[in-house]
Structure 1
Amino acid sequence: MPFTPFHMGAGLAAKALAGRHFSVLTFGIAQLAMDIEPLVGMLRDAPVLHGPTHTYLGAVPIACVTAALAPWLCRPLLRRWNQEVRHYRMPWLQESERWSPQVVLASALAGTFSHVLLDSVMHLDIRPWAPWSDTNGLYATISLSALHLLCMAGMAGGALGWVALQWLRSRRAAQRQRHNP
Structure 2
Amino acid sequence: MPFTPLHLGLGASCKAIGYRKFSFMIFAGTQILMDLEPLFGLILGWHTLHFYTHNLIGALLIGIISIFIGKPISEFTLKTIFKEKHWQISWKVAVFSALTGSFSHILLDAFMHADMYPFFPLSKSQVLLGLIPYSYIFYGCLFGFLLGGIGFLIRES
SS at 1:70's partner residue? helix
Residue aligning to 2:87: 97
Tell whether 2:118 aligns with 1:128.
yes
SS at 2:116's partner residue? coil
State the number of aligned residues. 157
SS at 1:3's partner residue? coil
RMSD: 1.6
Tell whether 2:101 aligns with 1:108.
no
Give distance in 1, aligned partners of 2:65 and 2:153: 29
Question: For residue 62 of structure 1, what is the amino acid of its counterpart?
Answer: I
Query: In the TM superposition, what whole-angstrom CA distance separates every residue of 1:8-38 from its partner, at most 9, and x where no partner exists?
Result: 0010101111111100100000000000011
Residue aligning to 1:65: 65
Give distance in 1, aligned partners of 2:77 and 2:114: 36
Residue aligning to 2:131: 141
Runs of 5+ consecutive residues of structure 1 not aligned to the other structure: 84-93, 168-181
Residue aligning to 1:19: 19
Contact 1:78 1:96 in 2 (8 A): no
Give distance in 2, aligned partners of 1:34 and 1:97: 26
Tell whether 2:155 aligns with 1:165.
yes
Q: Percent identity?
A: 34
SS at 1:54's partner residue? coil
Q: Which moved more, 1:28-37 or 1:136-145?
A: 136-145
Residue aligning to 1:54: 54
Q: Which structure is higher in helix share?
A: 1
| Distance change (3 Å), C-alpha of 1:103 and 1:95 | farther
- Which contiguous aligned blocks of 4+ residues in structure 1 show a shift greater than 6 angstroms? none
Residue aligning to 1:119: 109
Provide the TM-score with structure 1 as the length reference: 0.82
Tell whether 2:10 aligns with 1:6.
no
1:163 to partner: Cα distance: 1.3
Provide the TM-score with structure 2 as the length reference: 0.93
Give distance in 2, aligned partners of 1:161 and 1:43: 38
Residue aligning to 1:170: none
Give distance in 2, aligned partners of 1:153 and 1:62: 26
